[in-house]
Structure 1
Amino acid sequence: MPPGRPSAASRTSAPVSPTRCCSATCGSGRVCPPRDRGLVAVIALIALCRSERLGFHLVLALDTGLSNEELSRAVTRPASHAGCPNAVGAAGQLRAILADAEQPRAPP
């Protein structure tokens, strides 16, 4: 192993806080707001074609402050990288969630 370079074991053994962004890669320690984490989660789930979890994260992203327009862009942007079928499926889920959110709800 070259001098000054940490071993693989020491690089992976340090705990990483789930509320910190970039702590494992660049060490900036910047705290990511839930809104940003939600956006990243949505894009990652689209890219990985994890549609079974996407609906939950779309609703959560709306609840943390992402606008309908921001989520629409987040859903369509990965199409060129992750493939159109992934983006089309995500767009359908987002459309259904937004339509459901616009329907008036009866008081409990």
Structure 2
Amino acid sequence: MTVQVTDATLMNEVKDGLTLVDFWAPWCGPCRMIAPILEQLDEEMGEEVKIAKLNIDENEATAAEFGIQSIPTMILFKDGQPMEKIIGAHPKEVLKDYLEKKIAEK
């Protein structure tokens, strides 16, 4: 199950290991398309990478802090540090390959 994060809880959730944070909004069609893909990845890879979601409409400060200009945007955090930004909706295979490479780099 993906973790819902807010301005107040984000940094606590990303402090350990790898966390992929999905910056999204309910009105965003591509965000809704990618949501089930992220749920599947969380089920398959949850032991190695945490998947979190942040609603940018409800958490504008964090979205601004990380320069989110279009959604969906995902940021991969490693031990609390933002590592890379992924912009746009991507197929499951692309995201899974990306995450597997990042897990192997740990």
TM-score by length of 2: 0.29
- Name the structure with the higher helix share: 1
Larger strand fraction of residues = 2
Name the larger-Rg structure: 1
Give the structure, 1 or 2, with the largest relative contact order (CA under 8 Å, sep 6 or more): 2
